[in-house]
A and B are shown apart, each in its own frame.
Chain A
Amino acid sequence: MAVLDFLNRMFSRENSNNSKNIAKERLRLVLVHDRSSVSPEIIEALKEDLIRVISNYMEIDERSLEVNLNNEDSSVALVANIPVLGLKRRNVPR
């Protein structure tokens, strides 16, 4: 078994430990951050869209709404802090 293992490792091409895959993954993460800082207007646009959609369902405090990209270990998360002032009584729009 060990021999087969060794041979497989020796001959395998698409090993996920290939350094190019490591490079791609690292770049992907770092670019999410770089790109968001190059264009704060994208975050701004996202905020406006969020407000529009969420306002269909609940009343929110638009001025204290916060949207950020957080970098944690091996992932990037979009973290939104949206204070809710109250729920709307009307039916959920379809």
Chain B
Amino acid sequence: MGEVMVITSGKGGVGKTTTTANIGTGLASLGYKVVLVDTDIGLRNLDVVMGLENRIVYDIVDVTSGQVSYSKALIKDKRFPDGRLNLLPAAQTKDKTAVNQAQMQKLCEDLRKEFDFVLIDCPAGIEQGFKNAIAGAEKAIVVTTPEVSAIRDADRIIGLLEAGGLRNPRLIINRLRPAMVKQGDMMSIEDMVDILAIDVIGVVPEDDTIVISTNKGEPAVLDDNSRAGQAYRNITRRLTGADVPLMNLEVSEGLFDKVRKIFGMGR
């Protein structure tokens, strides 16, 4: 039986879809059978981030409404010739009420019989789309960025997840800028853990390669030269139980630091 994991955040634009695409692709790279489910009905995006947008025939609503079997609707990612990475796209022309919680539970139950990992990409917000997305999940990952708005929403989502029976969600801190943290102008990993009081499963640095890989529709986790890709590879391994230390995000010492040390002004 596979694991059903929802990737959520509350706030939009913090990187849920990018995270889902990279973790899913990363897990497939390690040899697992993976299916990504886009539940953002009406605002379909996981397909373009994965570069699979031209191959969609059926979508999640076709499956939950019983019109086609899920195996017919799944898009196989050709980067993995044995078909171990799959996408179930969201419907683009319907709204969130086209699927209900019972249908999502049934879908997740079916998918976990065949796949090692079922990753649910959750829409932003706390309304029906969120409730649907978490309905069939047994684990949750909360994505946040080091901003007050994203952290506040993450805190609320953690509360709602726990109220919905999803205990101990794990945190991904996305778009961290180590130089700003060092300056004291961005909250650090410790600051965020302190506030949210949940376990961190990974920290992804702000990285231009994410923009480039999204432009191309090739998840950064496949790019050996991408720092963010390395962070996602680490997260992927942690999800499979490996003990991988957090990446070293230290910025090299600037001139000011050196001068400060010489004058003994460091505190």
Contacts and interface: CB of A to CB of B under 8 A. Distances in A.
Contacts of A8: 265
B256 A20 contact: no
B185 interface: yes
Contacts of B181: 20
A27 B148 contact: yes
Chain B at the A interface: SS class: helix
Contact of A14 (B151, B159, B163, B267): B267
A18 B195 contact: no
Given A8-B265, A11-B259, A11-B260, A34 B187 contact: no
B256 A11 contact: yes
A1 B52 CA distance: 64
B191 interface: yes
A20 B151 CA distance: 13
A12 B265 contact: yes
B195 A31 contact: yes
Contact of A27 (B152, B156, B266): B152
A14 B152 contact: no
Interface string B31-54: 000000000000000000000000
A9 to B, nearest CB: 11
Interface in A1-60: 7-8, 10-15, 18-21, 23-24, 26-28, 30-31, 34-35, 38-39
Interface of B: 147-148, 151-152, 155-156, 159-160, 163, 181, 183-188, 191, 195, 256, 259-260, 263, 265-267
Interface of A: 7-8, 10-15, 18-21, 23-24, 26-28, 30-31, 34-35, 38-39
Given A11-B263, A24-B191, 11 more contacts: A7-B265, A14-B267, A15-B184, A19-B184, A20-B185, A20-B191, A28-B195, A31-B195, A34-B159, A38-B156, A38-B159
